[in-house]
């Protein structure tokens, strides 16, 4: 396996089996647990909207063996708009966003752009990714 085999969001968790299938547990109110038909996955990531108790919105991301990416769940900021991604080697999901590391060291991004956490246009020679929640990036819940 080349990436995370487990991932946890605010209200859901993902597991990656050795056969490339994915399992999920949790609230699932936004569709983030709809992974039962995912196969050929080598890494998973779990994202969230924010930690306020009145939300149940989150998303799940999977990296396929062929470098394509799949996502499900709440997509209010476009964080699940990853179907066109190719040659991805690593994925990360966080507060309203998804990142994908391309084999050439550049980074793809989907999600909430206005807070600056998705401004990765100048990133080069990247070898690892991580996404935080709204607390760790200095944002406030709005």
In a domain, 81, yes or no: yes
In a domain, 36, yes or no: yes
Full residue range of the structural domain in which residue 54 is found: 6-111
Give the CATH number for residue 91.
2.130.10.30
**pLDDT at residue 91, as a whole number:** 94
In a domain, 129, yes or no: no
What's the rounded mean pLDDT across residues 22-38? 91
Q: What does pTM read for this prediction?
A: 0.84
Q: How many domains does the chain have?
A: 1
Between CA 43 and CA 105 the distance in angstroms is 18
Task: List, for residues 100-111, the tens digit of each pLDDT value.
Answer: 999 999 999 998
In a domain, 45, yes or no: yes
In a domain, 132, yes or no: no
In a domain, 18, yes or no: yes
CA distances from 123 to 5, 93, 100, 128, 131 (A): 26, 17, 12, 12, 15
Task: List, for residues 14-26, the tens digit of each pLDDT value.
Answer: 999 999 999 999 8
Task: List, for residues 38-90, the tens digit of each pLDDT value.
Answer: 999 999 998 876 555 555 578 999 999 999 999 999 898 899 999 999 999 99
In a domain, 12, yes or no: yes
């Amino acid at each position: 396996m080349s990436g995370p085999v487990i991932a946890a969001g605010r209200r859901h968790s993902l597991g990656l089996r050795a056969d490339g299938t994915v399992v999920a547990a949790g609230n699932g109110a936004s569709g983030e647990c709809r992974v039962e038909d995912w196969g050929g996955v080598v890494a998973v990531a779990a994202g969230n909207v924010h930690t306020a108790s009145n939300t149940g919105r989150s998303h799940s991301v999977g990296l396929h063996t062929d470098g394509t990416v799949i996502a499900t769940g709440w997509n209010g900021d476009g964080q699940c708009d990853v179907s066109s991604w190719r040659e991805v080697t690593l994925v990360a999901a966080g507060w309203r966003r998804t990142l994908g590391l391309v084999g050439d060291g550049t980074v793809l991004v989907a999600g909430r752009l206005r807070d600056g956490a998705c401004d990765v246009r100048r990133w080069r020679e990247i070898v690892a990714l991580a996404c935080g929640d709204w607390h760790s990036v200095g944002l406030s819940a709005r």
